Copies of this chain bind each other. A is one copy, B any other.
Amino acid sequence: MTASTPPPAVLTIAGSDSGGGAGIQADLKTFMAHCTYGLSVITAITAQNTQEVRSVMPVPSPVVQQQLEAVLDDIPVRAAKTGMLADASVIRTVANIWRQHRDIPLVIDPVMVATSGHELLDAQALDTLREELLPLATVLTPNLCEAEAILERPVGSITSVEQMEVAARELSARFGIPVTIVKGGHLEDGGKAVIDVVYLADQDTCVRVTGPRINSESTHGTGCTLSAAIAANLATGMDHLAAAQHGIRYVNMAIQTAYRVGSGAHGPVNHAHTLHRSLFFSPTLHAPHPFTEYLKGRSSALWTRYVNHDFVRQAGTGSLRRDCFIHYLKQDYIYLKHYARAAALAAFKSDSLVDIGASADIVFGCVRESTLHLQLCAQWGITREQMENELESSTSVAYTRYIIDRGLCGDLLELLVAMYPCLLGYGEAAARQAADLESVSENNPYWPWICAYADDEFQSVVDKGRRVIEELVQREMPSGARLERLVKTFNDTAALEIQFWNSALEYRG
C-alpha cells in the first residue's frame, strides 16, 4: 500500500496474546489487513498458545493511562476498540480518558472468557464495565454469554434469534449504545447458518446478518478480530451497518481460509486473507525502473546470455563472418516489418493518444532503422529488391509471430513486454560493446551497426519504451499470477532473440 492519503489510525486497547492469534496481535493484523495504521495500548500480558492461557499479568492502570494519553495526545485516532480490560481499575482509567474523546467511535468487545475457557474479567469488573464504559460505546459486540452476563440473565437463557434481537435492543436502550451486535455463533440451533443480529438504535431496527456455519478449529481470536475489523471499517468512513456487515464477512472468510498454527484445540484465523504481496517495489527517484529490473532479474541467466551473445561480440571485434552478418541483416530487415506491425497493434490497443503516439514513434523508428540495413547491405552490392525478396527464415517467423500472437491474445501490457527484450537488449548489448571496444573500431565493417544502437538517439528510444511500460505497470500493479504470465512472455521473447542470433551465426549460405 503506497498511500496517496495517509491511512487512518485505529487504536486497540486490549491484552497481548503471545501466540499472535488474539488480543492486540489479532487487532494489529486486522488493522493492517484493512489498510489502516494500527496503534495499541496494552492492558495485560498473557502467556498463551493455541492450547491454553498459562498466565495473565494485568498492566497497572497508571501504565495503561500513560500509553493511552501518549497515543491520543499525538495521533489523530479515527476509531478505537477495547478487548480484554482485565480489571475494574483499568476499565475506570479507559472510561475516564474516553469521556474527553467521545467523538472517536469506540467499539467495545466485552471480553469475559477466552475461547479456551480461561476467565479474563473478574465479576466486580463487570459492574464497572456497565456503569463506566458501556455508556461510551458506539458499537457493542457481545456473544450470547456476554449479552446474558451484562443483562444479568441466567446463563443459556438466550436460545433463539428472536431473543438475540430482544437482547440487542435492550443492551442499546439500557446503555445508550447506537449499535449492538449480538453474535449468534454459539446459538445451538443445529442449522447450517450463523445469524448475527445488528441492532441500529437510530432506526430501531434489527438486521440479521447470515453467514455459513463453518466447522473449524480455527476460531481463536474471532471476537477480537470482529471488533477490530469493525473499528477499522468505521475509521475508513463506512456507516455502522456496512462496517458491521463487512466485519462479519471478513471474520467469516478469515475462518474459512485459516491454516493450522500450533497443536491446540483452537488455532488462529487467517487475518491476511485480504492481502496480496507485491513482488517488486514502487518506483522511486533512486530506483525508477522496478518492473523492468524485476523482469531482468527473473530471467537473469537468459538475459546475460542474450546481451553478451557471441554474434554481438564478434561484430564488436570485427571477427564475424560477413555472410553471417548479411544473412542477419536480411532477416532483421523482415523482422523490422513485423516489429513495426506489432507496434501498430500496440497503438491500436492503447487507451490514450499519448500511448498511441508512443507506439507510433516505434513504427517510425523501425522504418528509420531499416534504412541502416539497406545502407549496410548496399556496400556489399545487395539491392533493396534482394532484401525485399529474401525468404523469411522459420526462426524469424517464430519470433515475430509469437510477439504478434501475444499482442492479439493478451492486453497492451503483455504486448509491450513481448516487444521489450528486443528494444532493451539491443540497447544494452550495443552500449556494452561500444564501451568495451571503442579503441578498436576503426577498420571494423560492423562498427556502424553497433553505433546505431549505442548512440544517444536509440538509447533515448529505449528509455521511452521503459517509461511507458513502467507507467502502465504502476497504474495496474499486476497481481502475482499476472506477473508470472508477463515474466513468461519476457523470457520467451528473450529466448527467441537468442535463437535469432544463433541462427545468423550458424548460417552456411
Whether A440 sits at the interface, judged by CB under 8 Å, is no
Tell me if B59 and A37 are in contact (CB < 8 A): no
- The docked-state distance in angstroms from the alpha carbon of A57 to that of B63 is 8
Interface of chain A, main secondary structure: mixed
Tell me if B75 and A48 are in contact (CB < 8 A): no
- The docked-state distance in angstroms from the alpha carbon of A401 to that of B308 is 46
Q: Which residues of the partner chain B approach A264 to less than 8 Å between Cβ atoms? A: 74
- The docked-state distance in angstroms from the alpha carbon of A270 to that of B7 is 10
Q: Which residues of the partner chain B approach A212 to less than 8 Å between Cβ atoms? A: 284-287
Decide: A28 near B20, CB < 8 A? Known: A408-B348, A476-B482, A479-B477.
Answer: yes
Tell me if B45 and A70 are in contact (CB < 8 A): no
Tell me if B6 and A20 are in contact (CB < 8 A): no
Q: Which residues of the partner chain B approach A285 to less than 8 Å between Cβ atoms? A: 212
Question: Which among A154-162, A272-280, A448-456 touches the partner chain?
Answer: A272-280
Q: Which residues of the partner chain B approach A256 to less than 8 Å between Cβ atoms? A: 284, 286
Q: Which of A262-315 contact B (CB under 8 A)?
A: 262-264, 268, 270-278, 281-282, 284-287
Separation in Å of the A508 CB from the closest CB of chain B? 38
Tell me if A39 and B20 are in contact (CB < 8 A): yes
Tell me if B259 and A211 are in contact (CB < 8 A): no
Separation in Å of the A345 CB from the closest CB of chain B? 9
Separation in Å of the A191 CB from the closest CB of chain B? 13
Decide: A253 near B275, CB < 8 A? Known: A49-B70, A49-B73, A263-B74.
Answer: no
Tell me if B47 and A69 are in contact (CB < 8 A): yes
Whether A124 sits at the interface, judged by CB under 8 Å, is no
- The docked-state distance in angstroms from the alpha carbon of A286 to that of B256 is 10
Q: Which residues of the partner chain B approach A443 to less than 8 Å between Cβ atoms? A: none
Q: Which of A38-73 contact B (CB under 8 A)?
A: 38-42, 45-52, 54-55, 57, 59-60, 63, 66-71, 73
Whether A9 sits at the interface, judged by CB under 8 Å, is yes
Tell me if A37 and B261 are in contact (CB < 8 A): yes
Whether A410 sits at the interface, judged by CB under 8 Å, is yes
- The docked-state distance in angstroms from the alpha carbon of A75 to that of B49 is 8
Best-buried of A9, A40, A50 by chain B (most CB within 10 Å): A40
Q: Name the CB-closest residue of B to A278.
A: B274
Best-buried of A9, A262, A351, A479 by chain B (most CB within 10 Å): A479
The list of the 5 closest CB pairs from A to B, nearest first, reads A47-B66, A49-B74, A212-B286, A6-B259, A18-B67
A selection of 12 A-B contacts at a CB cut-off of 8 Å is A1-B275, A20-B37, A25-B38, A32-B272, A37-B268, A47-B69, A50-B75, A55-B66, A57-B63, A74-B262, A274-B278, A409-B412
